[in-house]
Amino acid sequence: MGMMSSIAMMLGREPGGRLENDQVDPEAAAIMEAKFAKGTTKERRAKLKAEHDAKSSHKWRNWRWFSIIVVNLLFVASFQWDVQLIEGSLTASRVFGFHFADLNAALQVMLAFKEVLINLLIGTVTVFILWWALGGRTFCSWVCPYHLLAEWAEMIHLKLVKMKMVVDLPLHRGTRTVLYVVFVVLALVTGYTVFEAVSPVGILSRALIYGPGLALLWVLALLVFEIFVSRRAWCRYVCPIGLTYGIVGTTSPVHVKYDIVNCLHEGDCRKVCMVPHVLEVTKRGHAAKVAQGLGPDCTRCGMCIDVCPTGSLAFEVRGLNKLL
């Protein structure tokens, strides 16, 4: 999948269907033909899944939860004990003397006040380089406090769906792109950082550090909506932060690589993914190459890696071998 096609999908375009033969690399086509000539049966898939489930690996999920908790508690500890090594919140901070500014928040401030502050610019560049190197939306799954709460809410939602007590209401992914523009225009016209007032990321970060406020009721309302109405609605269909970091991560060196050689296309990875459209390539006949990185909307959460029974998904640094 080309870069422009990946970006278009991130902005809301629906994934393409099964590829024609002339769109598939000859080596990939030969592997697929040989693989399914052997007869990939439901029994084989079930056996591999049972063997994988018996290991019950949640390695990357556990590391993510640890990362989110530790990063956010560092801000809390620094403020409570007046350490002054880490100051501010996830929206804007200073860490060991280096300025950090959330890219979306910085854009809102610059548009609202129609001024470019030097410290804000420095913080923006620092954060841009950091998340480009680590992989754009890595922020969402490894740092964002709302992501952790939403993930727990998602677990409840899926249990209710399984019990047939609720039905998931998917929204159009392009809604996020439209709202991104809306928030930009509002900041420019009103002179007020409208998104920051409703962003659960900033609300939670400030509440953890400086103490809770009424704004937490909005966060609670979002979680209730995601539990009973639409799975991961904020992250999937609203949050411009994810879109901003997705664009930053388009050419990031760290990504999740998919390899078709052993894949049985059982779809477990898509079931757990918060942004399953990035895993369309795992469907039979949808991959153009033997190995390719997932699109920029991937949060690098590692859940697909944890659940894959054949090891067909793995973290990789471009130009190097796969990571753990």
Shared-domain flag, residues 118 and 220: yes
Domain ends where: 214, 247, 280? 247
Q: What percent of the chain has pLDDT over 70?
A: 91
Shared-domain flag, residues 126 and 233: yes
Shared-domain flag, residues 29 and 8: yes
What does the DSSP 8-state code read for residue 99? E
Domain ends where: 222, 247, 272? 247
Shared-domain flag, residues 265 and 175: no
Q: Is 88 left (phi over 0), alpha (psi -120 to 50) or beta?
A: left
Picking from 317, 94, 97, 141, the residue whose alpha carbon sits closest to that of residue 245 is 141
Least confident range of 94-98, 102-106, 171-175, 266-270: 94-98
232-246 burial: b if 16+ Cβ within 10 Å, else e: bbbbbbbbbbbbbbb
Kindly state whether residue 93 falls inside one of the protein's structural domains: yes
Give me the helices (H) in the chain, please: 3-10, 26-37, 42-55, 59-80, 103-113, 118-134, 138-142, 145-162, 174-190, 194-198, 200-210, 216-228, 233, 240-248, 268-272, 303-307
Which pLDDT does position 32 carry in this prediction? 79
Which pLDDT does position 310 carry in this prediction? 87
- Give tens-digit pLDDT for 172-230: 999 999 999 999 999 999 999 999 999 999 999 999 999 999 999 999 999 999 999 99
Inform me whether the pLDDT recorded for 324 exceeds 60.
no
Shared-domain flag, residues 227 and 272: no
Shared-domain flag, residues 185 and 296: no
Pairwise CA distance, residues 137 & 8, whole Å: 16
Kindly state whether residue 323 falls inside one of the protein's structural domains: no
Instruction: Give the domain extent around 262.
Output: 3-55+254-317
Inform me whether the pLDDT recorded for 51 exceeds 70.
no
Pairwise CA distance, residues 43 & 104, whole Å: 48
Shared-domain flag, residues 127 and 193: yes
Shared-domain flag, residues 116 and 218: yes
Question: How many folded domains does the chain comprise?
Answer: 2
User: Cα 81–83–89 angle (5° rounding)?
Assistant: 90
Shared-domain flag, residues 21 and 108: no
Inform me whether the pLDDT recorded for 41 exceeds 60.
no
Determine how many CB atoms are found less than 10 A away from the CB of residue 288.
15
Shared-domain flag, residues 118 and 264: no
| Cβ atoms of 186 and 193 closer than 8 Å | no
Kindly state whether residue 34 falls inside one of the protein's structural domains: yes
Domain ends where: 200, 219, 247? 247
Kindly state whether residue 322 falls inside one of the protein's structural domains: no
> What is the chain's mean pLDDT, rounded?
89
Q: What average pLDDT does the segment 125-147 reach?
A: 93
Kindly state whether residue 224 falls inside one of the protein's structural domains: yes
Pairwise CA distance, residues 40 & 51, whole Å: 17
| Residue corresponding to tokens 């690589």 | 257
Single pTM value for the model? 0.90
Kindly state whether residue 166 falls inside one of the protein's structural domains: yes
Kindly state whether residue 11 falls inside one of the protein's structural domains: yes
| Cβ atoms of 286 and 280 closer than 8 Å | yes
Supply 7's token pair.
């970006």
Picking from 283, 289, 304, the residue whose alpha carbon sits closest to that of residue 31 is 289
Shared-domain flag, residues 79 and 26: no
Shared-domain flag, residues 208 and 76: yes
Pairwise CA distance, residues 28 & 22, whole Å: 11
